[in-house]
Structure 1
């Protein structure tokens, strides 16, 4: 099957199947690059929760720039 035939077939698939194909391809590409996610692995994600320094900086910036 050629790439054009695969693309035509993908085009005709329902949305859920397209998402499944996308997931498969993105996982394969990540694995080839050595960046795959392991099942049950822990991956750090930054969150603004409890980011008090950022809140203070933003508040100070807003006060300084709202004086008119």
Structure 2
């Protein structure tokens, strides 16, 4: 059954049932989009720790903000 075939049935549902269908579909979509982690796999973690470029950029932004407030 495809979506086009479901439309007449969905149209005849009452408001509460339509909301339940919407909640189900949103839940299904979010589950499909969640990243899944594999057991035993390693993943890199991005962090500004020990990143001199990030520290420099932050210092520049803070300096610009400081000049705006003066």
RCO (CA 8 Å, sep 6+): is it higher in 1 or 2? 1
TM bracket, shorter-chain basis: 0.3 to 0.5
Instruction: Tell which structure's C-alpha radius of gyration is larger.
Output: 2
- Taking structure 2 as the reference length, what is the TM-score of the superposition? 0.46
- Taking structure 1 as the reference length, what is the TM-score of the superposition? 0.47
